[in-house]
């Protein structure tokens, strides 16, 4: 399914978008400061009313990668299930993007998961806490420099006695 | 260490009359390991704060260390009440990344096991809603039928619960006449039970009173909250990936998308019941039209392991087998990334896979449907009573292993 009209319209509004296609999926790489506006335009003017997922990829050891993280927003239209992938590339030290919880309330937990697993902060998120890992955990486990078996946190979990409870 | 209560709000004296109740992580009605901190005013739920992560096992991290065939064993454990659908979802995504299409017989076999998994998932979900609202007989009816589906899976692949049935480019076992006979028998007998189950609950005064108008999710909330599957369809979002982007054999088969408008727990129950009828129709059509031919991709594509006969008697088979099992060879994937989803019993189950040329995924993101559904829970339960918590929780079908991965 061709997404050309949507991409043409987006290119007219925003400068410097990079579009690529793989196995019938259209991906658009946007800059960090354009992200929120692009997503809002797609939702309000092009009918992409479903945010399927937000995820992140750590390109630390990836071939030919120049940036450290790639943030992925998967969008879909509920009336004809057309899909679009929006990507933002981020590098240390500035790992923050604007939140999209004001556009989709369901982004709340997904953004918390990305923060928990990768340490990417979402500016303006109402409640950015860890979601899967314990609150006192310090690392971001899905980063590529975090070892598979952990750094010994599991052996040093605090023990809660009945009296403390 | 102090007890951590996931309360983002600071202490507010005007709320001191509220009673805080810990629901879970071990509670018979959560059915899995999850925790909700409820703030109660008498029987009324003022606020509910879900706290998840008790079953977090790092499945996505493990996905970066197991190869594309090995990881299927982990997907079994994500949604353990419909593992077949997870197996198919994973390898569907891998094959999309590789750019290969499985043969027609394999597509039909996968469709059949997916739909059987959907029936067993909906049986458990509806049965659990019935159990939590007091209908114990209904639960036993549902569980007996689920056992029959597990018998079919056992005959098919040797495992009842954690099937690990699919492989890149195919499945582990072909459908034998014995399995086909078992599935036909199930299709003959299942309508009687499902009619009994409908007669037990559909117009049951207690059940309807407990679920109708409870936990209403509007269409706008469902879209903003990224709901999918039966939860979204019960709220009037007419999205079903089997129709909207037909994969496997769904384009050839005749079935309907089941939707409701009300968005309450009762309509989620009705949508699931209706979907069982449609799944039964799909299984019947697919089993009668099962194409002949190979059930795995051939030796030339070099994705599925060739059968032992080919390995022992042909040179191509031997080479192909060694290429696939040697740790420094294996499947060649492009340095690319793709997302592919199927309509799992619970909703859209997708995998975002990044390939780096080796036979191990660089990143294997799972998009679990339960995650978004559980995030909706506080807004569904606010203002209802404590006893409605189980009715709403059951109708969302939260599977903690999939929620936390």
Measure A9 CA to nearest chain B CA, in Å.
Answer: 24
Q: Is the dihedral of CA A104, B32, B18, B212 positive or negative?
A: positive
Measure B404 CA to nearest chain A CA, in Å.
Answer: 7
Query: Rounded mean pLDDT of B240-245?
Result: 88
pLDDT band of residue B181 (cuts 50, 70, 90) is very high
Average pLDDT, chain B: 87
What are the boundaries of each domain within chain B? 59-296+333-404
Short-list A26, A38, A15, CA closest to A88:
A38
Please give the share of chain B, as a percent, with pLDDT higher than 90.
29
DSSP state for residue A109 in the 8-state scheme: H
Report pLDDT for B11: 59
Residue with token string 């659990």? B128
Range picked from A122-126, B6-10, B184-188 for highest mean pLDDT? B184-188
CB–CB contact B223 A85 (8 Å):
no
CB–CB contact B367 A132 (8 Å):
no
pLDDT exceeds 70 at position A143: yes
Identify all chain B residues contacting A53, using CB atoms and an 8 Å cutoff: 226, 339, 350, 352, 365, 367
Separation CA B195–CA B208 (nearest Å): 17
Which residue in B10, B53, B70, B344 has the most chain A C-beta atoms within 10 A of its own C-beta, making it the best mutation to test that interface?
B53
> How confident is the model over B283-328, as pLDDT tens digits?
999 999 988 888 888 777 777 788 888 889 888 888 888 888 877 7
The answer to whether B264 and B212 have CB atoms below 8 angstroms apart is yes
Residue with token string 């507010």? B12
Report pLDDT for B54: 86
Identify all chain A residues contacting B229, using CB atoms and an 8 Å cutoff: none
Separation CA B369–CA B348 (nearest Å): 6
Separation CA B267–CA B265 (nearest Å): 6
What tokens does B210 get?
A: 């407990």
C-alpha distances in Å from residue B149, one per residue of B124, B159, B161, B166: 12, 12, 10, 17
Separation CA B111–CA B104 (nearest Å): 10
In B38-97, the residues whose Cβ lies within 8 Å of chain A are 52-53, 56, 58, 60-62, 64-65, 96-97
Report pLDDT for B12: 64
Specify the CATH architecture of the domain B59-296+333-404. Answer: Orthogonal Bundle (1.10)
C-alpha R_g of chain B: 22
> How confident is the model over B17-58, as pLDDT tens digits?
788 888 878 777 777 788 888 888 888 888 888 888 888 888
pLDDT band of residue B7 (cuts 50, 70, 90) is low
B219 CB near a chain A CB, below 8 Å? Answer: no
Report pLDDT for A136: 80
C-alpha distances in Å from residue A101, one per residue of A40, A49, B182: 11, 13, 49
> How confident is the model over A47-90, as pLDDT tens digits?
888 899 999 999 888 888 888 899 999 998 888 888 889 999 98
Query: Rounded mean pLDDT of B57-79?
Result: 89
pLDDT exceeds 60 at position B195: yes
> How confident is the model over A2-50, as pLDDT tens digits?
577 888 887 777 777 888 888 888 888 988 888 888 898 888 888 888 8
CB–CB contact A81 B341 (8 Å):
no
Report pLDDT for B323: 81
pLDDT exceeds 50 at position B1: no
Report pLDDT for B3: 41
Report pLDDT for B332: 81
pLDDT exceeds 60 at position B5: no
What tokens does A162 get?
A: 């009945």
Residue of chain A minimizing CA distance to B236: A78
Report pLDDT for B93: 92
CB–CB contact B375 A106 (8 Å):
yes
pLDDT exceeds 50 at position B224: yes
CB–CB contact A52 B2 (8 Å):
no
Q: Is B302 left (phi over 0), alpha (psi -120 to 50) or beta?
A: left
What tokens does A27 get?
A: 């991906």
CB–CB contact B404 A132 (8 Å):
yes
The answer to whether B237 and B226 have CB atoms below 8 angstroms apart is no
Report pLDDT for B2: 37
ipTM of the complex, rounded to two decimals: 0.89
What tokens does A76 get?
A: 């879909």
**Confidence (pTM):** 0.89
Report pLDDT for A10: 79
Sorted by where each starts, the structural domains of chain A and their CATH numbers stand as 4-156 (3.30.460.80)
CB–CB contact B363 A57 (8 Å):
yes
Report pLDDT for B55: 86
CB–CB contact B58 A141 (8 Å):
yes
Separation CA A97–CA A121 (nearest Å): 7
């Amino acid at each position: 399914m061709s997404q050309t009209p949507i991409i043409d319209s987006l290119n007219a509004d925003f400068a410097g978008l990079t579009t690529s296609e793989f196995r019938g999926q259209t991906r658009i790489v946007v800059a960090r400061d354009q992200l929120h506006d692009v997503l809002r335009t797609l939702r309000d003017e092009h009918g992409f009313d479903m945010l399927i997922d937000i995820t992140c990829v750590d390109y630390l050891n990836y071939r030919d990668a120049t940036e450290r993280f790639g943030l992925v927003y998967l969008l879909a239209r509920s009336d004809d299930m057309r899909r679009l992938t929006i990507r933002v590339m981020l590098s240390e030290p500035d790992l923050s993007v604007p939140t999209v919880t004001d556009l989709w309330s369901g982004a709340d937990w997904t953004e918390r998961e990305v923060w928990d697993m990768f340490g990417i902060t979402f500016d303006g998120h109402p409640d950015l806490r860890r979601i899967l890992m314990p609150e006192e955990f310090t690392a971001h486990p899905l980063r590529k420099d975090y070892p598979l078996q952990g750094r010994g946190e599991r052996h040093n979990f605090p023990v809660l006695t009945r009296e403390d409870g | 260490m102090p007890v951590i209560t996931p309360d983002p709000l600071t202490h507010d004296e005007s709320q001191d009359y509220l009673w805080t109740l810990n629901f879970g992580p071990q509670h018979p009605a959560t059915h899995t390991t999850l925790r909700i901190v409820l703030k109660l005013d008498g029987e009324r739920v003022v606020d509910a704060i879900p706290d998840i992560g008790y079953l977090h096992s790092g499945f996505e991290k493990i996905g970066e260390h197991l190869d594309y065939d090995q990881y299927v064993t982990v997907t079994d454990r994500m949604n353990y009440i419909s593992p077949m659908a997870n197996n198919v979802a994973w390898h569907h995504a891998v094959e999309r990344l590789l750019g290969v299409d499985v043969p027609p017989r394999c597509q039909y076999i996968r469709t059949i096991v997916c739909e059987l998994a959907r029936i067993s998932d909906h049986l458990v979900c509806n049965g659990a809603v019935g159990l939590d609202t007091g209908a114990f007989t209904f639960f036993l009816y549902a569980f007996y039928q689920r056992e029959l589906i597990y018998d079919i899976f056992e005959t098919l692949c040797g495992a009842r619960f954690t099937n690990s049935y699919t492989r890149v480019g195919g499945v582990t076992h072909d459908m034998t006449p014995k399995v086909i006979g078992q599935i036909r028998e199930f299709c003959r007998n299942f309508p009687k039970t499902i009619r009994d189950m409908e007669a037990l609950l559909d117009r049951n005064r207690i059940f309807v009173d407990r679920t109708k108008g409870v936990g209403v999710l509007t269409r706008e909330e469902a879209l903003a909250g990224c709901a999918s599957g039966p939860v979204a369809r019960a709220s009037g979002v007419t999205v079903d990936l089997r129709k909207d982007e037909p994969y496997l054999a769904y384009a050839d088969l005749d079935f309907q998308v089941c939707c409701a408008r009300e968005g309450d727990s009762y309509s989620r129950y009705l949508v699931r019941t209706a979907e069982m009828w449609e799944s039964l129709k799909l299984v019947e059509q697919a089993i009668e039209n099962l194409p002949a031919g190979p059930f795995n991709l051939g030796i030339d594509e070099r994705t599925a392991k060739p059968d032992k006969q080919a390995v022992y008697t042909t040179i191509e088979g031997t080479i192909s087998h060694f290429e696939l099992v040697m740790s420094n060879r294996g499947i060649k994937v492009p340095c690319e990334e793709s997302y592919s989803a199927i309509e799992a019993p619970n909703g859209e189950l997708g995998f975002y896979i990044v390939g780096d040329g080796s036979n191990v995924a660089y990143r294997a993101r799972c998009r679990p449907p339960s995650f978004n559904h559980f995030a909706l829970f506080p807004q569904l339960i606010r203002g209802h009573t404590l006893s409605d918590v189980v009715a709403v929780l059951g109708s969302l079908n939260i599977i903690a292993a999939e929620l936390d991965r």
